[in-house]
Amino acid sequence: MKAHKRKPFAGFKDLLKLYSFMRPFRGKFFLGLIFLLISSGASLMFPKFLGNMVDLGNQGKLISEISRTGLILLAILVIQALFSYLRTRLFVEVTERTLASIRQHLYNHLIRLPMSFFAVRRVGELNSRISSDIAILQDSLTTTLADFLSQILLITGGITLMVISSFRLTIFMLSILPAVALLSFFSGRAIRRFSKKAQGYVAESNTIVEETLQGIQNVKAFTNELFEINRYREKTDEVARAGIRGGKYQAAMSFIVLIFFVAMGAVIWRGATLIAEGKMAAGQLFSFVIYSGFIAGNIGGMAGVYTRLQKAIGAAEKLLQLFDEPSETLDDQYIPVPETTLHGKIEFSRVAFEYPSRKENEVLHEVSFTAEPGQQIALVGPSGAGKSTIVSLLLKFYDPTSGQILFDGRDNSSFPLTALRAQMAIVPQDVFLFGGTIRENIAYGKPGSSEEEIIDAASQANAWEFIRLFPDKLETIVGERGVQLSGGQRQRIAIARAVLKNPKILILDEATSSLDSESERLVQEALDKLMKERTSIVIAHRLATIRNADKIIVLENGIIAEQGTHNELLASQKGLYQNMIELQFAL
pLDDT band at 162; cut points 50, 70, 90: confident
- The verdict on residue 349 lying in a domain is no
- How crowded is the C-beta side of 105, counted as CA atoms within 13 Å? 16
How many CB atoms neighbour CB 224 within 10 A? 15
The pLDDT value recorded for residue 139 is: 67
> How much is the pLDDT for 347?
92
Mean pLDDT of the chain: 77
DSSP state of 432: -
Lowest mean pLDDT among 42-51, 178-187, 293-302: 178-187
Which helix (DSSP H) or strand (DSSP E) does residue 551 occupy? Answer: strand 551-556
pLDDT of residue 273: 75
Host H or E run for residue 99? helix 63-111
CA–CA distances in Å: residue 264 to residues 173, 174, 271: 8, 11, 10
Buried b (16+ CB within 10 A) or exposed e, 161-183: bbeebbeebbeebeeeeeebeeb
Mean of the pLDDT values across residues 238-253? Answer: 72
- Residues linked to residue 538 through DSSP beta bridges, in sequence order: 378, 508
**Of 257-261, 353-357, 375-379, 478-482, where does the model show the most confidence?**
375-379
Name the residue with higher pLDDT: 346 or 526. 346
pLDDT at 65: 65
Please tell me the distance from the alpha carbon of residue 161 to that of residue 44, in angstroms, as a whole number: 9
| 340 assigned to some structural domain | no
pLDDT at residue 552 tops 70: yes
Same domain? For 459 and 417 the reply is no
337 belongs to a structural domain: no
**DSSP symbol at 140:** I
Whether residues 116 and 77 share a domain: the answer is: yes
What stretches of 346-455 adopt beta strand conformation (E)? Answer: 346-354, 362-371, 376-380, 402-407, 410-411, 424-427
Give the full edge-to-edge strand order of the sheet including 505-509.
Answer: 424-427, 505-509, 535-539, 376-380, 551-556, 559-564
Q: Is the pLDDT of residue 396 over 60?
A: yes
Distance CA 519, CA 494 (A): 14
Domain span at 417: 361-422+552-579
Please, which pLDDT band fits residue 177 given cuts at 50, 70 and 90?
A: low
Q: Quick one: average pLDDT of 240-249? A: 73
Compute the distance between CA of residue 514 and CA of residue 175 in angstroms, rounded to an integer: 79
- Report the percent of the chain where pLDDT is more than 90: 3
414 DSSP 8-state letter: G
Contacts of 407 (CB under 8 A, 6+ apart): 342, 345, 346, 347, 415, 420
Q: What is the DSSP letter of 132?
A: I
Asked whether residue 573 is domain-assigned, the answer is yes
Residue 413 lies in a domain: yes
With CA atoms as reference, report the closest residue to 474 among 446, 450, 495, 491: 450
Q: What is the pLDDT of residues 217-229, one digit of tens each?
A: 677 766 777 878 8
Contact 457, 500 (CB under 8 A): yes
Same domain for 75 and 48: yes
AA identity, residue 462:
N
Answer yes or no: is pLDDT of 174 > 80. Answer: no
Q: What torsion do the CA atoms of 249, 254, 259, 263 make, to the nearest 10 degrees? A: 150
**Contact partners, residue 562, CB within 8 Å, separation at least 6:** 552, 553, 554, 569, 572, 575, 576, 577
For residues 281 and 53, give the distance between their C-alpha atoms in angstroms, rounded to a whole number: 12
pLDDT class of 526 with cuts at 50, 70, 90: confident
State the pLDDT at residue 182.
56
Asked whether residue 567 falls in the same domain as residue 522, the answer is no
* Whether residue 11 has pLDDT greater than 60: no
Q: Is residue 524 domain-shared with residue 563, that is, in the same domain?
A: no
- Element (DSSP H or E) covering residue 537: strand 535-539
| Alpha carbons within 13 A on the beta-carbon side of 202 | 20
pLDDT value at 9 more than 60: no
Distance of alpha carbon 176 from alpha carbon 169, whole angstroms: 13
Minimum mean pLDDT range among 325-334, 409-418, 498-507: 325-334
Q: Kindly report the CATH number assigned to the domain that includes residue 367.
A: 3.40.50.300
The string of pLDDT tens digits covering residues 344-375 is: 899 999 999 988 777 778 888 988 999 999 88
Pairing state of beta strands 376-380 and 402-407? unpaired
Task: Say yes or no: 269 and 385 in one domain.
Answer: no
DSSP β-bridge partners for residue 379: 539, 553
Residue 293 sits in the same domain as residue 255 = yes
Residues 42 and 123 in one domain: yes
Evaluate whether residue 70 is within a structural domain. Answer: yes
Number of domains within the chain: 3
Choose the most confident range, by mean pLDDT, from 34-48, 232-246, 436-450, 469-483: 436-450
Of 301, 323, 345, the last residue of a domain is: 323
Question: How much of the chain, in percent, has pLDDT values that exceed 70?
Answer: 76
pLDDT at 516: 64
Q: Is residue 275 part of a domain?
A: yes
Establish if 329 belongs to a structural domain: no
- State the pLDDT at residue 209: 80
Distance, in Å, from the CA atom of 180 to the CA atom of 254, rounded to the nearest integer, reads 11
Arithmetic mean of pLDDT, 326-338: 77
**Is there a single domain that holds both residue 213 and residue 124?**
yes
8 has pLDDT over 50: no
| Cβ neighbours around 12 below 10 Å, total | 14
Residue 222: half-sphere exposure toward Cβ, Cα within 13 Å: 9
Residues 311, 406, single domain; the answer is: no
Tell me the C-alpha distance between 174 and 188, whole Å.
21
Same domain, 407 and 473: no
Q: 55 and 199 share a domain?
A: yes
Read off the CATH number of the domain in which 218 is found: 1.20.1560.10
For the segment 122-149, the average pLDDT, to the nearest whole number, is 74
For the chain, state the CA radius of gyration.
Answer: 35
pLDDT at 184: 61
* 55 or 146, which is more confident: 146
Contacts of 93 by beta carbon, 8 Å cutoff, 6+ apart: 25, 28
Evaluated on CA atoms 569, 570, 571, 575, the torsion sign reads positive
Q: What is the pLDDT of residue 580?
A: 80
Instruction: Name the range with the highest mean pLDDT among 203-212, 278-287, 533-542.
Output: 533-542
